[in-house]
């Protein structure tokens, strides 16, 4: 049985994967993607981001996002929206803008409200704010923070809630999987948002890991997040290695995937896991980290790697 079936059998909501519009012309890829026993949830890797959805102010394009949303519906899969507010893949009219607080507030409200509203009733969850922190736990000094201080987070969550009251609203980041300054900053933020009545429902731990370096505090840290009264999801899991891969590195990767998935499996507040694409054929890793790759459980020929059985064993 597939990974989603296994995940559901232990009480998880889904096991899913990222996908991207340009990959959908690959018939062999699609045959795996569309199987909801394997993947019960999908996330568009790019097509719902700000540069893709509002490239010029007030001009919204949802064609590619709609394709992914319709695919999820056809396949009987949950959809995670990704994302409303992020410093990256942000069109220059936003990132380079000089706005008053009132102007940027209304830009965020219009973007999040229109985006989330367009997909109303179609998404299980939204990454409303993505990657707000630097690795040392300080706030990322992007246009949002520089103009509105931390208030932009509340503005975005309120706009998303108003646009689709049924969608779970998440904050999402990387390097918050292990105990440390960045995780602490995120935990403090979640506490303060909740006590202020900001409508936050979940936290996404991206989980872009390196073979042999899965943090030992992952499980306890998932528990810490869950104890704040939010859902936890592993939203972008992959485990990269130095190329070329070897039997040793592929076996270590199997162990690492098993460790990560077991950590989520053993905490009831950890509701689901998403691979940041399931195949090395379409992984973002080699384009970003030169000489690294092989991060996914399926290889570039769409053949399952040892990592696949590591995941299955954990479920």
Residue 146 in the binding site for ligand G3I (CB under 6 A): no
**Which residues in 101-130 contact ligand G3I (CB under 6 A)?**
130
Residue 45 in the binding site for ligand G3I (CB under 6 A): yes
Active site residue 236: yes
By C-alpha distance, which of 94, 89, 20, 107 is closest to 51?
Answer: 89
Q: How far apart are CA 177 and CA 208, in angstroms?
A: 9
x/- contact string, 149-188, with ligand G3I (CB under 6 A)?
Answer: ----------------------------------------
Contact 262, 225 (CB under 8 A): no
Q: How far apart are CA 158 and CA 147, in angstroms?
A: 18
Q: Smallest gap, in angstroms, from Cβ of residue 5 to ligand G3I?
A: 26
Answer for which of 152, 284, 298, 308 binds ligand G3I (CB under 6 A) is 284
Active site residue 23: no
Residue 39 in the binding site for ligand G3I (CB under 6 A): no
Q: Over the range 19-28, which residues count as b (16 or more CB within 10 Å of their CB) and which as e?
A: bbbebbeeee
Residue 47 in the binding site for ligand G3I (CB under 6 A): no
x/- contact string, 233-272, with ligand G3I (CB under 6 A)?
Answer: ---x------------------------------------
**Quick one: 45 or 159, whose CB is closer to ligand G3I?**
45
Radius of gyration of the chain (CA): 19
Contacts of 269 (CB under 8 A, 6+ apart): 222, 223, 225, 226, 227, 230, 231, 232
Answer for which of 41, 175, 206, 221 binds ligand G3I (CB under 6 A) is 206
SS3 assignment, position 228: coil
- Give catalytic residues, as residue numbers: 131, 236
């Amino acid at each position: 049985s597939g990974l989603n079936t296994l995940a559901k059998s232990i009480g998880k909501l889904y096991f899913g994967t990222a996908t991207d519009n340009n990959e959908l012309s690959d018939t062999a890829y699609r045959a795996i993607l569309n199987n909801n026993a394997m993947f019960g949830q999908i996330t568009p890797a790019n097509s719902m981001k700000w540069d893709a959805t509002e490239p010029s102010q007030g001009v919204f394009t949802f064609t590619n996002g709609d394709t992914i949303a319709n695919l999820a519906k056809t396949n009987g899969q949950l959809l995670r929206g990704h994302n409303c507010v992020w410093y990256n893949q942000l069109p220059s009219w936003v990132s380079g803008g000089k706005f008053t607080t009132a102007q940027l507030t209304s830009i965020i409200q219009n973007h999040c409200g229109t985006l989330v509203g367009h997909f109303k009733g179609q998404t299980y969850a939204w990454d409303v704010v993505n990657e707000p922190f630097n690795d040392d736990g300080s706030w990322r000094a992007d246009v949002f923070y520089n103009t509105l201080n931390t208030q932009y987070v509340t503005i975005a969550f309120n706009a998303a809630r108003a646009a689709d009251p049924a969608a779970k609203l998440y904050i999402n980041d990387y390097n918050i999987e292990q105990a440390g300054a960045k995780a602490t900053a995120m935990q403090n933020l979640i506490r303060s948002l909740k006590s202020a009545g900001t409508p936050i429902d979940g936290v996404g731990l991206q989980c872009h890991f390196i073979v042999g370096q899965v943090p030992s505090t992952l499980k306890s840290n998932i528990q810490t997040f869950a104890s704040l009264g939010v859902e936890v999801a592993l939203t972008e899991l992959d485990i990269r290695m130095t190329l070329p891969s070897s039997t040793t590195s592929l076996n270590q990767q199997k162990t690492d995937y098993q460790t990560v998935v077991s950590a989520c499996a053993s905490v009831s507040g950890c509701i689901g896991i998403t691979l940041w694409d399931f195949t090395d054929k379409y992984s973002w890793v080699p384009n970003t980290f030169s000489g690294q790759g092989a991060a996914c459980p399926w290889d570039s020929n769409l053949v399952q790697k040892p990592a696949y059985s590591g995941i299955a064993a954990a479920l």
